[in-house]
Amino acid sequence: MMNSLSGRFLILTTIFVMLAEILIFVPSIARFREEYLQNRLERAQIASLALLADDMIDSDLEEELLQNAGVFNVVLRRDEVRQLMLASPMPQPIDDTFDLRDGTAPVLIRDALMRILESENEVIRVIGAPTREAGLLIEVTMETAPLRASMIDYGVRILVLSAVISIVTAGLLFIAVRAILVKPIRGVVGHMQRYAAAPEDARRIITPNAGVTELREAEEALRSLQTELIAALRQKDRLAQLGGAVSKISHDLRNILTSAQLFTDRIEASEDPLVRRMAPKLVNSMTRAVHLCESTLAFGKAEEPSPTLMIFTLDDLIADVLDSERLAIGDKDLSLSENIPPLFSLRADPEQLFRVISNLVRNARQAIIANGQPGEINVSAYEDADNWWIEIADTGPGLPPKAQEHLFQPFQGGVAKGGTGLGLAIAQELVRGHGGALELDRTGPKGTVFSIRLPKGDDI
């Protein structure tokens, strides 16, 4: 219980209330001492009235008056004349004198604390102003033992009362905290535990109903998290099912393409100049299709193959990408260009890099054609001391905000109608496999620029 929130509130409340009572206790004790001494002065003044009424009183009556007043003697100053009104033998000399007429709060508190700490019985002189202006001053001598005993008794009663108040206050706060905070928090924890047992069950999503603002915000945040997690789990399940289906299709398609490759020898032997010129591109395209099927099979197992790094010139690869896209452009008003330095070489997996650049160029081509305006796509490359850089820039309409938010997420970053968003996700994964990065540099009404960074270092 002491480790619980309500238990710690109970302990802290008790401690804080006791501290507050202690802060009140010190001035209370000082006030009690002042009233005690003032009371002795008043009683001594009343006792002295008997002498004023009769100049001669016997010693027994005088002793009784002094005992009732709780003092040894009484001195009253009237009309500038100091008169010893009542007197009795003192057991010891006077140790100290206290004047209540000009006692400030710090002085009264100091004297009260010193009196409690001083256990030895002393005789003190107390000076004060008579009540009802019955003289200039009145002073008495008295013992401190009864004063100290009364102060301790009063202090004990104050501390006991403080303890009772602390316990009652802490108990009420304990009940309030359990009702206002602990119970709703336990409800949230219970929702989390039930949801964890079946995270795909939408019926277990929490319904915010807390009255406390902070707890309600926590419940709303939990509901949002649960909703997003359910969607992610469903998407993951669908992706897994899709991966299984694609793997089967890719397996059969690979076999078909492998058979088709057997006929390429006959095509290459053709005497038709156009066929002889197009045959190598057809062979390359079929080879890439086979590699793509094999990669898809690996991707279905969540194992994208590691890149096979080699040094090659980039211009041939870019030419193949642009030639393939020109066939898809047809008579559309879209131009393709490249800005590759002569003999620009880099180290990468040519097949994987072809897929990356092809995806980016294809996306740009589809965006420009869908926009219905003339456009241009340019592929450029440069290098610095640490990296090779490839940029794909277009003059298209730019990416919408939703696409930017989920740009590299499968099934969420698609821009074209009916698109899946897998292209950019796969492209980013392939570039990461090279130890590099695929980033969106800028996008807007004037176009979009993607950059591919491939490190020159050996670590990938």
CATH superfamily of 306-455: Histidine kinase-like ATPase, C-terminal domain (3.30.565.10)
Per the confidence metrics, is the pTM higher than 0.85?
Answer: no
Question: Any residues with CB less than 8 A from the CB of 10 and at least 6 apart, and which?
Answer: 170, 171, 173, 174
Amino acid 431: pLDDT = 92
* Contact predicate 389/378, CB 8 Å: no
pLDDT-based confidence at residue 255 (cuts at 50, 70, 90): low
Give domain limits for the chain.
5-169, 306-455
Q: What pLDDT, in 10s, does the model give residues 81-102?
A: 666 677 778 888 888 888 888 7
Quick one: angle between helices 350-371 and 422-433, nearest 10? 150
Tokens standing for residue 451: 């950059």
Question: Any residues with CB less than 8 A from the CB of 277 and at least 6 apart, and which?
Answer: none
CA dist 17 to 11, 27, 163, 234, Å?
10, 16, 8, 54
Q: What mean pLDDT is predicted for residues 192-214?
A: 77
CA dist 398 to 272, 322, 329, 377, 442, Å?
43, 21, 19, 13, 9
Q: What mean pLDDT is predicted for residues 390-401?
A: 91
Tokens standing for residue 199: 């995270």
Residue 295 has pLDDT above 80, yes or no: no
What does 404-433 look like in DSSP terms, one character per residue?
Answer: HHTTTSTTTS--STT--SHHHHHHHHHHHH
User: What mean pLDDT is reported for the chain?
Assistant: 78
Instruction: Report CA 377 to chain centroid distance, whole Å.
Output: 45
Residues constituting the chain: 460
- Percent of the chain whose predicted confidence (pLDDT) is above 70: 74
Q: Please give the Cα distance from 363 to 368 (Å, whole number).
A: 9
Tokens standing for residue 5: 């929130």
* Contact predicate 295/304, CB 8 Å: yes
Amino acid 101: pLDDT = 80
Q: What pLDDT, in 10s, does the model give residues 330-363?
A: 778 899 999 999 999 999 999 999 989 998 998 8
